[in-house]
A and B are shown apart, each in its own frame.
Chain A
Amino acid sequence: EAQVTQNPRYLITVTGKKLTVTCSQNMNHEYMSWYRQDPGLGLRQIYYSMNVEVTDKGDVPEGYKVSRKEKRNFPLILESPSPNQTSLYFCASGTSGPPYYNEQFFGPGTRLTVL
């Protein structure tokens, strides 16, 4: 089954404790991205990757890191989480350019609470 998987689905942590949210896709997509969803703000892009070893900042990259060492994986790293990073996080993958025009497939989400 074609899918994007994220782990963990739920995470409660404390300020300053480093954490990693994993993301994996099995559709051989070049493009992957991380978003955060907050009430009233929709989805905002954190980082994206156009291909292996190619990453770039989205709209809200502060406090986050990513890496893309393999095509299928795109982990999101919070080196020192703070309460304002409490949010619902989505990983997505897709194919940029025609005929898909960056249609993206989303994972189930990771709900993060930072105390």
Chain B
Amino acid sequence: AQSVTQLGSHVSVSEGALVLLRCNYSSSVPPYLFWYVQYPNQGLQLLLKYTSAATLVKGINGFEAEFKKSETSFHLTKPSAHMSDAAEYFCAATNTGFQKLVFGTGTRLLVSP
């Protein structure tokens, strides 16, 4: 069964610093991958998705992620953190039949001034 692992339940950065949130997937076939963001008291919003067209994917709010098949990874980055980036981030993968999204356990990003 496919699984998604997010390393680090909490990540703290200073405003202006690099943001790196880690995601690894477990699949014999590269899945389709997503990053979602959840702001307090809100639903999930799509940041970006990988659908095999390009390994470097750019999303909203300056975020991007790189698909690395050799490392089974899809890490999320942003060059310079902003206070408004503080939220919980979820990595997800769809299974081959597209019946479900499998989510990681989430990483809460804390941004300090």
Please measure, in the bound complex, the distance between the C-alpha atom of A43 and the C-alpha atom of B100, giving whole angstroms: 11
Q: A42-B103, A42-B104, A103-B34 are in contact. Are A90 and B43 (CB under 8 A)?
A: yes
- Quick check: is B9 within 8 A (CB to CB) of the other chain? yes
Do B45 and A45 touch across chains, with their CB atoms under 8 A apart?
no
Greatest chain B CB density within 10 A among A45, A56, A98, A104 is at: A104
Binds B, one of A63-71, A77-85, A105-113: A105-113
Q: What's the Cα separation between A22 and B61 when bound, in Å?
A: 31
Query: Which residues of B lie under 8 Å from residue A40 when comparing CB positions?
Result: 9, 105
The residue that A42 contacts in the complex, of B43, B94, B100, B106, with Cβ under 8 A, is: B106
Within 8 Å by CB of A90, from B32, B44, B94, lies B44
Contact residues on B (Cβ < 8 Å of other chain), bracket: 20 to 34
Name the interface size band of chain A.
20 to 34
**What 19 new A-B contacts, CB under 8 Å, besides A41-B105, A45-B100?**
A31-B98, A42-B90, A42-B105, A42-B106, A43-B90, A43-B101, A44-B103, A56-B99, A92-B44, A98-B51, A99-B51, A101-B32, A101-B51, A102-B98, A103-B49, A106-B45, A107-B43, A108-B43, A109-B43
